[in-house]
Amino acid sequence: MAKRNAAGAGSIRKKTVLRDGREYTYWEARLTVGVDPGTGKQIRRSFSGKTQKEVRQKLTAITAEIDDGTYIPPDKTTVEQWLNIWLKEYMGDKKYGTVRNYKNVCKYHIIPYIGQYRLSELKPYTIQALYNRLGREEDGKKALSPKTIHNVHGVLSKALNQAVWNEMIRSNPAQLTTRPRKTRKEITTLSDEQIQKFGALVEQDSYRAILKFILFSGVRESEAIGLTWDCIDFDRGTIRIYHQLLQRPKSAGGYTLAPLKNDRERLLTPPPTLLALLKERKHEQMQQRMKAGLAWHGWGSAEEQNTWFVFTTEFGDHYCPQTVYDHFKRIARQIGAEKANVHSLRHTYAVLCLQNGDDVKTVQSNLGHATAAFTLDVYGHVSEKNEAGQRKPHGSISSKNDLREAGVNRIKGQIKGKTKKEVPKLYE
């Protein structure tokens, strides 16, 4: 019986091959790296180089790794194979929208370019070349924005980190790359004049309640559409934001209530005018219910009514995001804010808060941001820009008349509060 080589045992030899009628000489090392537990056969690895010295250095390095137990055998899994495994097996705790975005990034921006590479073959320069290529207009394809390239990097880096944890590769080569500098996306907010016009026009729209609610609370559109009556405590004067309405996967269809974007539940203390808006909305909804009769969606007991959506159609169904968007855009075009969307109402709320001198931690908490630094990074420059004179600072509002002129008091046609301290509460 032939004697088995111990792990780490290897040899070096000189080899000559014939290619295209010419002789080529190189050096090759063969090394025993372990034993296959399934078959009991030795696992051997070979590698080559132009000189004996080069090959010997490689042999010494791998032998040292075997001796100290850090050696990871080359994995034959390709990038495409691993990404498919990663998307299937490691996305269980991710939201549908996140998984869908990850799949699209892999399908369109990673696999077509480096999917054929083995994980063990990936080098920082390989991934760097990918990012550089994505940032160029090539073969009729538009160059990706720096933000999109950062998103590609985020997905690829997450997948490769998991491969490291699975001991498929030693390190994550994506971490040693350089991404293009991200340009700050211009945030669209409504000016004083546009707010005034919006306040007048929105009163004529059937979706006025939800649009005003977003502007005066700063909640996300999905949070407003998903707001249920159990979230509102009229006695304590609070609004609990703990879920949002999101679209289900195409296979399931429809919408579902889901956790918040960053799972950060928050409790808002709105001004009396906003609570009045919600009371008015509840009265309106009960009238719609009586008119619809049995056609009302979810006709039930008083307890069951607490789970109804706040903003509903005439038959008790929740609003569709596209319909909310369409209603807002009709008004936006009339007030000269063609670039604005529903999220611009949230942006406007945030800037108004900062310009009125609200504490940044309070603004962060109301918006549901992870950190105050993020809030300032997103909105601080907009607030400073506006205060520099490009438009009248909202912080100058000091009376109910000023507020009425800005068009933000049209919840019920007038401001209930009569003190200066009550004014900023509209933006909490």
What's the CA gap between 274 and 425, in Å, rounded? 10
Q: Cα–Cα distance between 71 and 66 in angstroms, integer?
A: 5
Q: Rounded CA gap, 177 and 150, in Å?
A: 11
- Determine the length of the chain: 428
- Return the domain boundaries, the chain: 10-68, 79-176, 192-427
CA nearest neighbour of 108 among 77, 75, 151, 76: 151
Instruction: Give every CB contact of residue 324 below 8 A, 6+ residues apart in sequence.
Output: 207, 210, 211, 221, 225, 342
Residue 219, C-beta contacts closer than 8 angstroms, at least 6 positions apart:
213, 227, 241, 268, 346, 368
- What is the predicted pLDDT for the residue at 399? 31
DSSP 14-45: EEEEEETTEEEEEEEEEEEEEE-TTT-PEEEE
Question: Which SS3 state, helix, strand or coil, does residue 334 take?
Answer: helix
User: What CA–CA distance (Å, rounded) separates 345 from 185?
Assistant: 16
- Could you give the CA distance from residue 122 to residue 384 in angstroms, rounded to a whole number? 45
Q: Is the pTM of this model over 0.85?
A: no
pLDDT in the model for residue 357: 84
- Show pLDDT as tens, one digit a residue, over the chain (428 residues): 444 454 556 688 888 888 777 888 888 888 776 666 566 677 677 777 788 888 888 888 878 777 776 666 666 889 999 999 999 999 987 877 889 899 999 999 999 999 999 998 899 999 999 999 999 998 888 999 999 999 999 999 999 999 999 888 889 999 999 999 887 778 899 999 999 999 999 999 999 999 999 999 999 999 999 999 999 999 999 999 999 998 877 666 788 888 887 778 999 999 899 999 999 999 999 999 999 988 888 776 667 788 899 999 999 999 999 999 999 999 999 999 999 999 999 999 999 988 888 888 989 999 998 888 888 888 876 666 665 554 443 333 333 333 333 333 333 333 333 333 333 333 33
pLDDT computed for residue 32 by the predictor: 77
Chain mean position to CA 183? 17
CA 388 to CA 394: how far, in whole Å?
A: 12
* Fold equal for 79-176 and 192-427: no
DSSP assignment of 265-321, as one string? -EEE---HHHHHHHHHHHHHHHHHHHHHGGGSTT---HHHHTTSBSSB-TTSPBPPH
| Confidence at residue 138, expressed as pLDDT on a 0 to 100 scale | 85
Q: How far is CA 396 from the centre of its chain?
A: 35
CATH of domain 79-176: 1.10.150.130
Which listed CATH number (1.10.3720.10, 3.30.300.210, 1.10.443.10, 1.10.287.3510) goes with 192-427?
A: 1.10.443.10
What pLDDT is attached to residue 61? 80
pLDDT at 359: 86
Task: Determine the distance from the C-alpha atom of residue 119 to the mean position of all C-alpha atoms in its chain, rounded to a whole number.
Answer: 27
> To which residue do tokens 């498929």 refer?
168
